[in-house]
Structure formats: structure tokens, C-alpha cells
Amino acid sequence: MTSVLSRPVRDHCLAPGRAGGAEIYAGRYGRLFPELPPLALESEFLRVLGRRGGACDGGLGVEGESADAREAAGWPIFGQFIAHDITADRSPVTHQAEPERIRNYRTPRANLESIYAGGPVGSPYLFDRADDAKLLLGEDGNDVPRNSQGVALIGDPRNDVHLFMSQLHVVWLKLHNLLVDRLREDGADAAALFEEARRAATWHYQWVILFDFLPRAVGRELVDELVAKGPTYFVPDGPEPFIPFEFADAAFRYGHSQIRHTYRLADVSEAPLFPDLVGFRPVSARRVVDWSLLFDLRGHEPAQRAKKIDGRLPRSLIDLPLEITGDVADDDLHSLAVRDLERGSGVGLPSGEAVARRLGVEPLQDGELALPDEWKGETPLWYYVLKEAEARAGGDRLGPVGGRIVGEVLYGIVARDPESFLAVDPAWRPTLAPALADLLALVA
């Protein structure tokens, strides 16, 4: 296998500094459309949409569930993995801090920070002492490593939030270790093994984001435009990279509407994501994920499908368990839809209609939005993106507003990362496999 390391990899995972005794991080949030005013809405209007029994509640069973979408059920899980890798907002759900003071506790780069954290020096507990170029796995090799109380020893604790996330984390641990073995077989310098494997794993990950995940989410035509011309709206406003609030607190939360009411597992059982598949505990052998049930793997029957993007969430996300929400006094905050809407309002996001006009796109009509009769004014951006996907793309991918935001940000952060394959070696092509399904098959 050809080496992909052309120069040393700088450990920039958290890049902490000190300022007046307070730790600061390299990540920050910003605005994609700073000229647009925030949508002013009373909190109660948001809750009418998002609470149990509201417009976003898909109900308990299949009767009110969204139809199956074109793409496999695993893709919104991979989207959640990306979100954890590039964003971490630790402020309250309602954003009681000033938006300008909210920090992103992840670097805005698709660099597998949630896997590598501070690297062998900063996060030695992530590495195998018997082979320090490799990442540590659980005792049976099919779970993340855990301490004596079952707490995951990983770069981002959110990657243990449910079974599918922790198992996807294991995939990248195994992929890194596979790359170490292959580089060692090719005679790579022992001192550079970790850095070369990390670079190779990260570049494969970036490739999957841009050319496997993104076309499914926003359409091939927009991806081709971004490759040819680069982003039009996501342009630097200074030397420090950032993640737009319009992306983090609205458009890239579209995957919440793709979650199924129940998932078929390897043991033939059907289970909702929450509470049945909640994480934060060891994964038993019978719960090891069969990826052919979530992604279309070669030689297997088609996987379960994601649900259409249509503004409805399964009841498991409208009624989140205490393990996810913590002990909240406000019952509405058990709803992920309410949380999504509150976050967007808290950072002062513009309406979906305002963004559509800014992009030169015809806004959705009242009948397409399906807002409650008592609704007055324009539409929260998160909900608008979901209904736009339903109205303009049949619920199989994002529409022009949501697609533009997601496409420009994901392509932009890879293109501007000085250590990405686009920056270092644009002619590079994957040496293992170009598609996520094939990478999953390699480490299964």
C-alpha cells in the first residue's frame, strides 16, 4: 500500500491555550448569513411544534411513522458521527449565554478528533500499551474500551450515546489498526506508524464525507459544483476557521427526522433507538451490530432504510430518556425537536424563508410547511429545512436551502483544512476503499 504521509502530522486536536487563567479552544461558531435578522418567536410557539403531540411528533408506532426513504438507515448515524467530530456546544439547551461567547469544543475540521483526541501524548489511555501505534479496543475486540465501571474510554463521550454510535466508533478504531498493520507490512518507519495510519484513516474519512455521504444528503449536482467552484457563501471572515450556527443548530440536524421508530438487529429483534439501544454501558456479544442491516453491503440483502426527511421524529426522540436529558424540570425538554428549536432560537437564527430569499430560492408556501393554524410569522430554520426536503426533494435528501448550508460547510471545512487530502494531495485516492460500506466490510 502506498504511504499517504508526505509530511509530519501536527497534533492539533484540541489546540488549547491559556488566556487570563481560562482555557480556550481553537473552535468557534459564526454566521453564514450575518446580515439576516433573527426570527423572533415566543418559546411557546416553538413548543407547539416540538412537544409530544405536536407537528414534529411521529407517534409511537408505524401508523404515524414517515415512509421509508431511498437511502439506508445507517446514513443519519454516520451524520451524527460527523457532527460529534466537528461540533461540541456545551452551553445550555436554551443558549443562555451570548451567542458570540459560545465556544465549539471541537476543531472545525473533519479530522477524526473524536477518535484520536489528544493523540498518544495527550490521551495515552486511548492507545494499546502492547503496540502504541494502535488504538485500544474492548477486551473482546468488538466494543470500545471501558473502565471498571463500564464508562467508555474514548475521545468523545457522546459517541457512546447509543449502540450504533459506539459501534461506529469501533469501526474507526479497527480501521486505524488495520492501517497500522498494512503500513508495517509495507516497511513503514516504526516511528511514523501512528502518524501515517492516522493520516490515512482521516483522508479516507474525508473522502467518504465528500463523495459518499454528501451526494446522498445534498445531491450530486451540488457536490460537483462545490468541487469545481468551491463554496459561494461559506467564505472565511478571518484566519480562524469556524462552524456556522445555521449549520450546527439547524440544517445539519436534519438527520433527526430520518431516525426509524424501530431497528432490526442481528438477533432478529426490533428495538427503538431510545430507550432500548441507549449507550453508556458495555456492548454484549449478541448486540454487536451487523452493518449489513444498516448499510447496503455487497453480497447482502438491502439494508433497512432511513425515514424520509419530513419534519416528523419518532416518539423515541420526542420522549428522550433520563440517561440522555438528565433530570430536567421542564417536561418539554425531553423532546429532541423542542431542543433543536430552542437552540436555533437561542442563537438568533434567521427564518427559513429569509435564508431562501437570500439564496434566490422561492420560499415554501403555507401548505408545504404544514404549520399549526395558530402559527403567525415565518418558520424556524430547522423545521423549514425538514419541510423543504419533503416538498422539494421527496424527503430523500435536502432541498436547496438545507442542501446549500450542509454542502458548503462540509466541503468548506475539508477544503480549508491545511492537512486534508484536498490541501496536501488533491490527486490522492483511497487506498482501501472509496465507499463507507466497503470500509465497514473490511473491518467486520
Coil vs helix vs strand at 304: coil
Q: Cell 433527526 sits at which residue? A: 256
pLDDT in the model for residue 14? 32
Has residue 263 got a pLDDT over 50? yes
Band of pLDDT at residue 62, cut at 50, 70 and 90: low
How far apart, in whole angstroms, are the C-alpha atoms of residue 381 and residue 54? Answer: 17
Give the containing element (helix H, strand E) for 30. strand 27-30
For the chain, give every domain's residue range.
Answer: 38-443
Q: What is the per-residue pLDDT across 416-426, written as a single tens digit (0 to 9) for each? A: 999 999 999 99
Which pLDDT value is given to residue 107?
Answer: 92
CA distance linking residue 421 with residue 16, whole number of Å: 24
- Structure confidence at residue 238 as a pLDDT band (50, 70, 90): confident
Surface-to-core class of residue 372, CB atoms within 10 Å of its CB (0-12 exposed, 13-18 middle, 19+ buried): exposed
pTM of the full predicted structure?
Answer: 0.93
* Nine-digit cell string for 13: 486536536
Q: Given this model, what pLDDT does residue 358 score?
A: 98
Higher pLDDT, 80 or 25: 80
The 10s digit of each residue's pLDDT in 106-148 is 999 999 999 999 999 999 999 999 999 999 999 899 999 999 9
pLDDT band of residue 41 (cuts 50, 70, 90) is confident
Note the pLDDT tens digit of each residue in 317-360: 999 998 889 888 889 999 999 999 999 999 999 999 999 999 99
CATH 1.10.640.10 fits 38-443, yes or no: yes
The pLDDT confidence band at residue 283, using thresholds 50, 70 and 90, is very high
Q: What is the mean pLDDT of the chain?
A: 91
